[in-house]
Amino acid sequence: MPGVLELLPKLGSYKLAVTTGGHDKQGAEKILIDTGIRKYFEAVVSSDDVENGKPAPDVYFEAAKQLGVEPLNCLVIEDSVNGVESGKAAGMKAYGVNNDKEVREELDKSGADEVYISLQKVQIP
């Protein structure tokens, strides 16, 4: 996603995880390695690692567990409605990010706490 290379170094004081429903863990790991960003993430959780995929909250509960943090203290950054719904169902704050205007409107309707056009615009508290 455009802006990820600028955003990740700014998040150095946070524990980070990737959750995915679109790839198995091995595929997600390969993408992170190939893009040079694997080093930023302490955990990678796929829907294959849990009983129910997104929009169920299982992947986010598992990510929080692996990071050793309470779900209430987590922020989800998602590009899909299912992802936002999953994060919110886990009790997490959820930001929606998508460059498509219609998708951003759906992210807002799905309960995203903030919605952004790109990762370059995301404001982390």
Q: What is the CATH number of the domain that holds 39?
A: 3.40.50.1000
* Count: domains in the chain: 1
pLDDT in tens, 58-116: 999 999 999 999 999 999 999 999 999 999 999 999 999 999 999 999 999 999 999 99
Q: Which domain holds residue 108?
A: 4-121
Helix axes 81-89, 58-67, angle to 10 degrees: 60
Least confident window among 16-25, 26-35, 82-91, 107-116: 16-25
Residue 95 C-beta-side C-alpha neighbours within 13 Å: 15
Query: So what's the pLDDT on residue 62?
Result: 97
